[in-house]
Chains A and B, each alone.
Chain A
Amino acid sequence: MDAFDLDVRRHVYSSVVADGRPPTTTETAGAFGRDEPEIADAYRRLHDAHALVLFPDTTEVWMANPFCFAPTPHRVTAGGRTWTGTCCWDALGISGALHADAEISTECACCGEPLTLVVRGDALAEGADTLCHVLVPARRWWDDIGFT
């Protein structure tokens, strides 16, 4: 990953934190004073390197993990904003990435019953005995990251 791609990635993540959403390639091109196709190529390289996830066949950011920009059952209130987590790992990861306490409103994958987890400091103050299940073995996580 070269310095330009790292700069683009840093811009995407800082925009996510500032605006609650990732920048479009047009917005990032404006910020860098570059042509949009050049930024689109950088987004694709970051996707291929698993540093971002794009919606299929687009240059729109689906995940800047642990943050997700498609609906999921995992809503995370932290750092003065409500975020979406891709999965149980990422939902808790938003608290870690922001270094902030968090409340996670989610549901049981089996029955849909609402579940709440609260992170205070480094630990879970509520929901510590909730179960997390990882279905896919680690070496296959990126085969279909949306399913994982």
Chain B
Amino acid sequence: MVYLRSEEHLSRWLSDNGWEPGATLSAAKMNELSRAWWWTRLDPGWRPRSADESQAILTDLGLTGDFWALR
């Protein structure tokens, strides 16, 4: 999961490596996802999330479809 400065650089990076595109998010959207995903990671009472709970975080941010399916 990498940062890229523009769509042009993304296309070149994929082409240079011979990779098919995955999913592209703005850093603003990734920040929303990161905060939702990691917010409780240091809580003393942390417990592992279920796959359904993790999937719900993605869904709530509109990250749906086969690419974002955890199972």
Contacts and interface: CB of A to CB of B under 8 A. Distances in A.
Interface stretch (A23-31, A35-43, A54-62, A110-118): A110-118
A6 to B, nearest CB: 7
B28 A87 contact: no
Given A87-B1, A135-B1, A148-B1, A97 B39 contact: yes
Interface in B3-57: 3-7, 9-10, 12-13, 16, 19, 21-31, 33-39, 41-42, 44, 46-48
A87 B22 CA distance: 15
Contacts of A134: 1, 22-25, 67
A137 B66 contact: yes
B26 A129 contact: yes
Contacts of B26: 128-132
A138 B42 contact: no
B69 interface: yes
Q: Is the interface of A mostly helix, strand, loop or mixed?
A: mixed
A95 B34 CA distance: 9
B22 A135 contact: yes
A17 to B, nearest CB: 7
A126 to B, nearest CB: 10
A67 to B, nearest CB: 9
A109 B10 CA distance: 8
B42 A97 contact: yes
B48 A51 contact: yes
Interface of B: 1-7, 9-10, 12-13, 16, 19, 21-31, 33-39, 41-42, 44, 46-48, 58, 66-71
Interface of A: 1, 6, 9-10, 13-14, 17, 49, 51, 65-66, 74, 87-90, 92-99, 106-111, 113, 115, 117, 119, 122-124, 127-139, 148
17 contacts: A1-B47, A66-B41, A94-B38, A95-B31, A109-B2, A109-B4, A109-B9, A110-B5, A110-B9, A123-B31, A128-B31, A131-B3, A131-B7, A131-B10, A133-B1, A133-B25, A137-B67
